[in-house]
Amino acid sequence: MENKIKSKIYIFLLLAATLFNSCADFEEMNQNPTTSTDMDPNLMLTTIQMQLSGGRYEQWRNGFIYATEWMQLWTGEYASVEYGGKGQKNDAYMSALWDVQYPREVKNITDMVERTKDVESQTNINAVSRIMRVLIFSRLTDIYGDIPYSQAGKGYYEGILTPVYDRQEDIYNDFFVELAAATSALDESKDAITNDFYFEGDIAKWRKFGNSLRLRLAMRLTKVNPDKARTEAEAAIAGGVLQGNDDAAVMKHIDVAFGGGVFGGNGVSYVFMNVSPSESAFRITSTLGNYMLETSDPRLALIAACYLDDNQRTDVTPQVLANYENNYRRLFQPPSTFVYDSAPAPIVADVAGVETEIAGKFQFMQPAKYFTATNAPYIVMSYAETELWMAEAAFRGWNTGSTAQEHFQRALDAGVKQLTIYGAPAVGQPTIDGFVAANPLESGKELEQINSQLWINFLLNGQEAYANWRRSGYPALVYPNRDPAVNQSNGEIPRRMQYPVNEYLLNNANVEEAKGRMTGAADSWNNRVWWDAE
């Protein structure tokens, strides 16, 4: 399996070097990525999957500097604290996802869809490309709101260089149409999907993934259109969603050192080790750590640890805990706090029989070495996530086939077990059973419990955690730094990210029209996207 993954990645790297670039120029975005009519769309799939989770640039800026810091999952790194933690605007950070995805994934997925449509011998790869297109655009619209969608990437095919901004409601309506059509078109008797990192060409798993994505997006509508949310959610569940951790959509990365424009490794891992190839400035927040303690969550000891040095060679969590009388809370860092500024005094402890000094900054729990490894896998969608959506759907009285309690219990069980995907040691079933038994859904707290577990599930996907927090309001987070002399968001967690400055230069008429549809005709990060109704 490892050799097969490596061979696919080497193919991708060759393609990336010859066909693709990350230029954010608008006209580049609308050019055809290749002039060859013989390009195998299965190789394009490889490229797109790799780039979606392998890009450090946008993972750091949108994902960790802003979304993850706002969601109080990880903290301690300078830019995250300075901008996300203090609520300060940075145009380049906010526009990062837009700047790379339009000229990269949007351009390439548009070409992939166009070159395979109405081709009888490419039925399955066309369906897969349509599912991937929804995944790509859902990330963009959930962060920015109204965006170029129907005309995006059509420069080569239709000569459109200044695409209109579609309303988010219209985009979502089309998402559901596309996912229904794509999952229905998938056919095991037709063309094989090759060079597929997520599912190794398993058509049944692609169908489950498409339906699970439809379920995720249906749940976005619970505030703005609950009837539509129910219709789409029930249709997705009836079509068949992820049924176990083996169904999870996982991108399998390899050990490739970070370099500008280089893919292969995990983009989140690149971010975690951003200070140097062997040093992480990120720490688990007290918000997340305390919640996991309160729920006796066995994942806490697996997702973070205290390490003796920057290379994470020696786990000294037991020694640090013993120094603090086994008080885990002393190992968590308050949100929006720099690692170095808040470091306690050094301690001396026995490490493998040697009296060793443990510096203050290493007494806070870092991301576990399983997550910081360059070849760490990336979970695009998990079975636990799907069960949590169904738990909420069942709580709302929708038809899911099980009770909310049953879905929630399965989600907790799967959420612990899925850490083995990263290489973490397995947790014994009796421990998992005890965790599940200790956390039943409680009357009046169901939505809080379900969505708090989704927050944990998106531990390494701050953008999804941010989207669901805006939809659900859980967990109840308060901006840690509300100082009006510093904070530029009125002391509130922003509700979206602002459009790139380049759009006002290169696509002014269309971005101005979109801006005019927002509250106060303002491109403000305090304005809400369509589905985030008050």
CA-CA distance, 279 to 188, in Å (whole number)?
46
Q: 158-168, pLDDT tens digit by residue?
A: 899 999 999 99
| pLDDT on residue 471 | 98
CA-CA distance, 243 to 400, in Å (whole number)?
13
| pLDDT on residue 126 | 98
**Per-residue confidence band for 37, with pLDDT thresholds at 50, 70 and 90:** low
Q: Token digits for 12?
A: 């991708």
What are the residue ranges of helices labelled H in 86-202?
91-94, 96-101, 107-116, 123-144, 155-158, 168-185
Count of Cβ atoms closer than 10 Å to residue 331 Cβ: 22
Rounded to a whole number, what is the distance in angstroms from the first to the last CA of the chain?
48
**Per-residue confidence band for 209, with pLDDT thresholds at 50, 70 and 90:** very high
Q: 468-493, pLDDT tens digit by residue?
A: 999 999 999 999 888 888 999 999 99
Q: Token digits for 393?
A: 């759907």
CA-CA distance, 341 to 76, in Å (whole number)?
9
Is 388 in contact with 453 (CB distance < 8 Å)? yes
Is 199 in contact with 206 (CB distance < 8 Å)? yes
For a pLDDT cut of 90, what percent of the chain falls above it?
84
Domain encompassing residue 328 = 274-372
| pLDDT on residue 428 | 98
Statement: residue 34 has pLDDT above 80: no
**Per-residue confidence band for 67, with pLDDT thresholds at 50, 70 and 90:** very high
522 located within any domain: no
Statement: residue 336 has pLDDT above 60: yes
**Per-residue confidence band for 12, with pLDDT thresholds at 50, 70 and 90:** very low
Tell whether 307 and 408 lie within a shared domain: no
Tell whether 327 and 212 lie within a shared domain: no
CA-CA distance, 525 to 532, in Å (whole number)?
13
Phi/psi-derived region of residue 207, left when phi > 0, alpha when psi is between -120 and 50, beta in every other case:
alpha
14 located within any domain: yes
**Pairing relationship of beta strands 147-148 and 165-166 according to DSSP bridges:** antiparallel
Of the listed ranges 282-296, 303-317, 360-374, 502-516, the one predicted with least confidence: 303-317
471 located within any domain: no
414 located within any domain: yes
Q: Which of these three, 309, 344, 372, is where a domain ends? A: 372
Distances (CA, A) of 270 to 251, 258, 420: 15, 7, 20
Number of domains within the chain? 3
Q: Token digits for 144?
A: 């920015």
List the beta bridge partners of residue 378: 251
Q: What is the mean pLDDT of residues 329-341?
A: 94
Tell whether 396 and 448 lie within a shared domain: yes
**Pairing relationship of beta strands 304-305 and 347-351 according to DSSP bridges:** unpaired
| pLDDT on residue 113 | 97
Statement: residue 275 has pLDDT above 90: no
**Per-residue confidence band for 33, with pLDDT thresholds at 50, 70 and 90:** very low
Closest CA to 460 of 415, 394, 525, 428: 415
Query: Which DSSP category does 398 fall into?
Result: -
Tell whether 342 and 210 lie within a shared domain: no
Tell whether 11 and 155 lie within a shared domain: yes
Q: Which of these three, 247, 266, 286, is where a domain ends? A: 247
pTM beyond cutoff 0.85: yes
Tell whether 105 and 177 lie within a shared domain: yes
Tell whether 168 and 127 lie within a shared domain: yes
Tell whether 58 and 161 lie within a shared domain: yes
298 located within any domain: yes
Q: Which helix (H) or strand (E) holds 8?
A: helix 2-19
506 located within any domain: no
Is 197 in contact with 51 (CB distance < 8 Å)? no
CA-CA distance, 152 to 149, in Å (whole number)?
5
Tell whether 367 and 386 lie within a shared domain: no
Tell whether 107 and 234 lie within a shared domain: yes
Residue 453: partners with Cβ closer than 8 Å, 6 or more residues away: 384, 388, 408, 411, 412, 415
Tell whether 303 and 435 lie within a shared domain: no
Statement: residue 279 has pLDDT above 50: yes
Q: Token digits for 67?
A: 């979304």
Q: What is the mean pLDDT of residues 290-318?
A: 93
Tell whether 86 and 228 lie within a shared domain: yes
| pLDDT on residue 277 | 56
Q: Which of the pair, 128 or 311, is modelled with greater confidence?
A: 128
319 located within any domain: yes
Q: Which of these three, 437, 457, 477, is where a domain ends? A: 457
261 located within any domain: no
Q: 212-266, pLDDT tens digit by residue?
A: 999 999 999 999 999 999 999 999 999 999 999 999 999 999 888 777 666 789 9
